[in-house]
Structure 1
Amino acid sequence: MAYHYDLERLGYSKNDILLMIHADDAGLSCSENAATIEALKKGTVTSFSIMVPCPWFGDIANFAKQHPQYDCGIHLTLTCEWKHYKFGPVLPYSEVPSLVDERGFFHTKREQVKKLAKPQEVKKELKAQIDRALNAGIKPTHLDSHMYTLGLTKELLDVYRELGKEYKLPIFLSDELLEGVGNLGSLQESDSIVHKVHIGNFKAMQSTGLGELYTQMLNNLTAGLNVILIHPAFDNMEMKQVCVDHPNFGSEWRQMDFDFFTDPNTAALLEERNIKPITWRELQRTIH
């Protein structure tokens, strides 16, 4: 059985409601970068992570280097889910052929990664992604996994763990996310996991909007380490083109994420409920 982070060691009580509002997918686009930066500076977002293989990596890497006070992880990437907007590995695709399609781009779906990706090539590519981030001056606080592909199989999860140990960084693990990719029961005694992970859903976005759902989430948070995963971006022409035929986690969704978590009313609700912000930088101190 995996264990939860030792939050009392960090000075918190067992009754504290701790929350990390974490922005995924920085580097994906100019829109994603701009919204993420503004959410960090003006909103309630406490952590973000960067997709190294994406075209806008250099822009967000420069921000992270110049603003080391912000919690920043590496969003380890093995898939490219977009219809027309494509990117591939950091390494030449000839070195990691099991990770790419016939055009040299990452596979679109997780199931393709599960079926085709060779663990040794996965580790080789992900080390290259981390090293590129380090060489760009980023000082990462953790590792996490785009679309949670590294939770798909025992072999991929082993690669994830190995990278965390090698770079002395916490890895984002959750039994809920493992269940979501069909791999619940693969946690080990040495794994540190997040108590509760919260993500918006497409049905709510279409009906009442994500703001109502997120308000309910915040009102219902319980003691322990909670993470809300968001994907802030602006619903502009660039992001609409990235998200063609992909409304789930699409351009409209990402604008809702940005709007809610930069709204002063959200900050007021966090204060009212005495919800305490926490970052991966703090959790790093629990790694021996």
Structure 2
Amino acid sequence: MKSDVRLIVQGDDFGMCHAVNAGTIQAYREGILTQTSTMAACPWFTEAAALARQTGIPLGVHQTLTCEWDYLRWRPLTGGATLVGADGTFFRTVAEAAASMSDDDALRELSAQVARFAAEGLTFEYLDVHMGQSASAAVYEEVARAAGRPLVFGASESRRFGSIETLSDRDAEGKKDWLLGYLDGLMPGVHLLITHCAVAEPELGALTAPGTETYRWAEEYRLSDQALVLDPEIRQAIAERGIALMSVGEAFG
């Protein structure tokens, strides 16, 4: 049996769309999910906030300066002109966003996203970054300092963790074997496993065009992640190995 192995199982993109919201809550209530990174700039954030108040799911701020989808688009909460493309929505890639945005616009936007949690009566345990670093590291660090919460992943790899892994972008047929092997290999310490959960709803397949770089992230990866975080064999493997499931707040106080 393992000793002193602590595992945070995170669901990303809470607030993005209804299918993600429903899947995240199911994964928390019925599966091994322990926290969720939440997108305040997205159209379904209001539903996510209501679900968070109902369930008490531990939240993080998924700091959002990009929007990767073809047909689901979202805009900044602020009016920063350097944050958006010609259609007035966030850029699709980290590279495009980083090439355009000013630190001042990014700081105002990310601060507004944090403020939206308080406006909904929500608290959060940490901050991380959607898709990768679009603004300078100093911007993310300033927002985290002002919020009084750790920046756990994104602008730079956090030394808080023994490992950081992503479950999602693996072929479905090999994903369960990979996860069981991952659990076997965990050493004492705190580990972060990032997932992208969603239930099967038609909206997932309509997020983006087939053949695009993000197409597999829309539906395929999310549904296979959902199946695994709900899989009784995975929960049993965690129990047999003596792995403690927890959130960032529980792990680091």
Q: Report the equivalent of 1:23.
A: 11
**1:52 matched to 2:17:** no
- Distance, in Å, in 2 between the alignment partners of 1:201 and 1:26 is 15
- Deviation of 1:161 after TM superposition, in Å, equals 1.1
Contact between 1:141 and 1:169, CA under 8 Å: does it hold in 2?
yes
- What stretches of structure 1 of length at least 5 have no aligned partner? 1-13, 179-186
Q: Report the equivalent of 2:67.
A: 80
From 119, 125, 146, the counterpart of 1:166: 146
1:53–1:232 distance in 2 versus 1, CA, 3 Å = same
Report the residue type matching 1:90 in the other structure: L
- Distance, in Å, in 2 between the alignment partners of 1:213 and 1:283 is 24
Return 257-266 or 243-252, whichever deviates more.
243-252
- Superposed CA deviations along residues 41-64 of structure 1, whole A, max 9, x for unmatched, are 000001112111111110010111
Could you say what secondary structure the match of 1:28 adopts? coil
Could you say what secondary structure the match of 2:209 adopts? coil
- Distance, in Å, in 1 between the alignment partners of 2:200 and 2:55 is 25
- Superposed CA deviations along residues 64-107 of structure 1, whole A, max 9, x for unmatched, are 12333x2111111000001121111012xxx3111100110000
- Deviation of 1:252 after TM superposition, in Å, equals 1.4
- Deviation of 1:116 after TM superposition, in Å, equals 1.2
From 203, 217, 220, the counterpart of 1:238: 203
Report the residue type matching 2:19 in the other structure: S
Could you say what secondary structure the match of 2:215 adopts? coil
- Deviation of 1:283 after TM superposition, in Å, equals 4.2
- Distance, in Å, in 2 between the alignment partners of 1:209 and 1:15 is 27
**Equivalences for residues 264-283 of structure 1 within 5 A:** 264-283=232-251
1:210–1:138 distance in 2 versus 1, CA, 3 Å = same
Could you say what secondary structure the match of 1:242 adopts? coil
TM-score by length of 1: 0.81
Contact between 2:168 and 2:196, CA under 8 Å: does it hold in 1?
no
Q: Report the equivalent of 2:222.
A: 254
**Equivalences for residues 118-197 of structure 1 within 5 A:** 118-149=102-133, 156-173=136-153, 178=156, 192-197=159-164
Paired residue total: 249
- Deviation of 1:247 after TM superposition, in Å, equals 3.0
Contact between 2:33 and 2:229, CA under 8 Å: does it hold in 1?
yes
Contact between 1:173 and 1:193, CA under 8 Å: does it hold in 2?
no
Contact between 2:31 and 2:231, CA under 8 Å: does it hold in 1?
yes
- What stretches of structure 2 of length at least 5 have no aligned partner? none
TM-score by length of 2: 0.91
Contact between 1:113 and 1:149, CA under 8 Å: does it hold in 2?
no
Report the residue type matching 2:21 in the other structure: N
- Distance, in Å, in 1 between the alignment partners of 2:3 and 2:239 is 16
Contact between 2:168 and 2:195, CA under 8 Å: does it hold in 1?
no
- Distance, in Å, in 2 between the alignment partners of 1:129 and 1:20 is 23
Report the residue type matching 1:212 in the other structure: D
Could you say what secondary structure the match of 1:197 adopts? strand
The runs of at least 4 aligned residues of structure 1 exceeding 6 Å deviation read: none
- Distance, in Å, in 1 between the alignment partners of 2:180 and 2:251 is 26
